[in-house]
């Protein structure tokens, strides 16, 4: 079977799965859909807190999970590579 046929069949499978999944959500009541969305994405309930949007909250959470590698990057020896600690100026 050629690569083109495999890619075509995969695209067809994705389209069929999308149609099936979308039809499942079409029959849900609004409250059921809201509960499912809240369970699948806990950031929906935060409503931003002091952040402007949920994406900022997710980014801050990722930063904390990965030991603040974005806001306080460190070299191999564990020494901060920031010249100035901007958080305590």
Please tell me which residue, 43 or 69, carries the higher pLDDT value.
69
CA angle 51, 86, 75 (to 5 degrees): 105
Contact (CB, 8 A) for 6 and 12:
no
| In-domain check, residue 88 | no
Query: What pLDDT score does 76 carry?
Result: 86
pTM over 0.85, yes/no: no
pLDDT above 70 (res 52): no
The torsion angles phi and psi of 74, rounded to 5 degrees, stand at: -130, 155
CB-CB contact of 72 with 82 (8 Å): yes
Could you give the percent of the chain with pLDDT greater than 90? Answer: 9
SS3 at position 69: coil
Question: How far separated are the first and last CA of the chain, in Å rounded?
Answer: 64
54 & 79 share domain: yes
Rounded mean pLDDT, 7-29: 86
The predicted pLDDT at position 25 comes to 75
**78: domain range?**
46-83
Domain count, the chain: 2
């Amino acid at each position: 079977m050629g690569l083109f046929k495999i890619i075509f069949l995969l695209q067809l499978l994705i389209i069929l799965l999308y149609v099936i999944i979308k039809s499942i959500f079409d029959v849900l009541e609004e409250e059921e859909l809201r509960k499912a969305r809240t369970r699948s994405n806990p950031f929906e309930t935060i409503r931003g807190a002091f952040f402007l949007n949920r994406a900022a909250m997710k980014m801050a959470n990722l930063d904390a999970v990965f030991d603040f590698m974005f806001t306080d990057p460190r070299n191999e020896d564990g020494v901060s590579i920031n010249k100035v600690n901007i958080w305590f100026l």
